[in-house]
Amino acid sequence: MFSSVRSRLTLWYVGALSIVLIAFSIGVYVLLARSLYDRLDARLASTLQATVSAVKHALAEQDTVTRALQDLHFPNQTIAVLDEDGRVLAEKTGIAGPPLRLPPAPFSSSEEIRFYESPESQSDADDSSRGVFQRVTDPRTAARYTVVVVQSLEALGDQLELLLEFLYIVVPLSLILAGLGGWFLARKSLAPVVAMSERAQRISVENLDQRLPVINPRDELGHLAATFNDLLARLSMSFAQQRRFMADASHELRTPLSAIRTASAVMLQQEDREQSEYREALTIVEQEARRLTRIVEDMFVLARADAGHPTLQKSNFYLDELIAESARAAAVLASQKHLHFETLPLPEAPFSGDEGLLRQMLWNLLNNAIKYSPDGGRVQIALESRSTHYVITVSDTGSGIPPELQTRIFERFYRVDQARAHTASATQSGAGLGLPIARWIAEVHGGRIELRRSDPTGSTFVALLPRT
């Protein structure tokens, strides 16, 4: 029971409220008791002043103190005059006044007002009282008298006891009601969490399209549900990409494997064949094996990209020299299609990065430009050095990419022209992995690749790499 969030929230709420209520009750009790005692002391002091004045007047008129008390009327109080030895010379008890209980001896010799309190005489007597006394001196005889005023504490005690009984009932009842209300509110507040939990338990790989319910998108739980839905959307997209990747990879791997198996099966159907036939079959097997090797290598590079922790073999080199070497190799391939390959003047470009990966990036861009340029076309590569980065530009004179397909060219296994891709040379992958790999290589070096222009006159790809 106490492992649930609702129970813990309710207990915390009731515990905090109980501390507040207990502190409040103690404060109310103390303040009320102090107020009642202050009012009682004020009444006692007022009665004492009137009595002292009457006694002094009687002494001045050479009258008895008993005569002085006869004209005084104070209900609920008892007044008395004592001599120096503490004997009662005169006493008057008002209506419902308490019995006279004298202050503890010896009395104070000063004429200051002194308060005292007498406890109950017995455990069930309920005769506790509070009193006040003051010394009075006769100016004629120098005799000293003590004036005492006493009032019962029964009414005050009853009021405080009534307050305690009220608090004993109200505080536990408030805590019970607060606990029930807190449990209800916690259950109501956490209902979206329960709904999200139940929905999340039903979501699996087969139904990643389902989403958590968002009851109130403006509160914290709604924001949490929206965040989980975004996570589910990314997971669904990732699983869809993985499935598409596996399906495309299976398709691409099946093509060369099927060609190899077909060529081998045809040659094995007849024992005696000409040497040229065997050579032709082995040539097909070798070409398809190279195509298969290239696809596997590209998939391995993409697997490193998906791992998120690429291991770069960094070194210091000149980017312009790397571009010149890649351009010379690409010029040989371009000459087979009678393409005009042009390398613009390359400025000196020191760089720090993985030379092997950058060489593969350049080759993928150049190979893509050569493959899709018609015979007699033109391919151009250029390097520009700017203040914060290098700009590598690869242009061709191909037929271009339709505008509606330009956003998908960096997807894995995606090819604008499927038929032309299958008729490409076996030394090229033709699997739609070149541009995704090139983009990943640029990104792990802190740069990016973008398609700057593509129309019927050709396409221009730009790679931006930060200067180091």
With H, G, I as helix, E, B as strand and everything else as coil, classify residue 204: coil
Under the banding of pLDDT at 50, 70 and 90, the label for residue 1 is: low
pLDDT digits (tens, 9 = 90+) for 13-64: 889 999 999 999 999 999 999 999 999 999 999 999 999 898 888 888 777 7
* Structure tokens given for 260: 């190899």
User: 125: which 2 tokens?
Assistant: 């007597």
The overall average pLDDT reported for the chain is 84
Using the predicted structure, report yes or no on whether residue 319 has a pLDDT greater than 80. Answer: yes
**Could you give the angle at which helices 220-268 and 191-202 cross, rounded to 10 degrees?**
10
The confidence score (pLDDT) of residue 430 equals: 54
Taking only Cα atoms into account, the Rg of the chain, rounded to an integer number of angstroms, comes to 52
CB 442 within 8 A of CB 450: no
Grouping H, G, I as helix, E, B as strand and the rest as coil, residue 219 is: coil
Q: Rounded mean pLDDT of 335-359?
A: 91
Other beta carbons less than 10 A from residue 27's beta carbon: 10
| Cα separations in angstroms, 39 against 33, 46, 407 | 10, 11, 88
pLDDT of residue 307: 64
How far is the C-alpha of 254 from the C-alpha of 422, rounded, in Å? Answer: 13
> Which is more confident, 450 or 97?
450
- Per-residue pLDDT band for 420 (boundaries 50, 70, 90) equals very low
Report strand pairing: 144-152 vs 129-137.
antiparallel
Which of the four pLDDT bands, split at 50, 70 and 90, describes residue 339?
A: very high
Residue 35 burial (10 A CB sphere; 0-12, 13-18, 19+): exposed
Least confident window among 385-389, 400-404, 460-464: 400-404
Give SS3 for 420. helix
| Position 347 confidence tier, pLDDT thresholds 50, 70, 90 | very high
Tokens standing for 159?
């009021």
Least confident of 106-115, 248-257, 330-339: 248-257
Mean pLDDT on 220-233: 86
For each of the domains in the chain, give its residue range(s) and CATH number, in order of start.
5-161 (3.30.450.20), 199-309 (1.10.287.130), 312-466 (3.30.565.10)
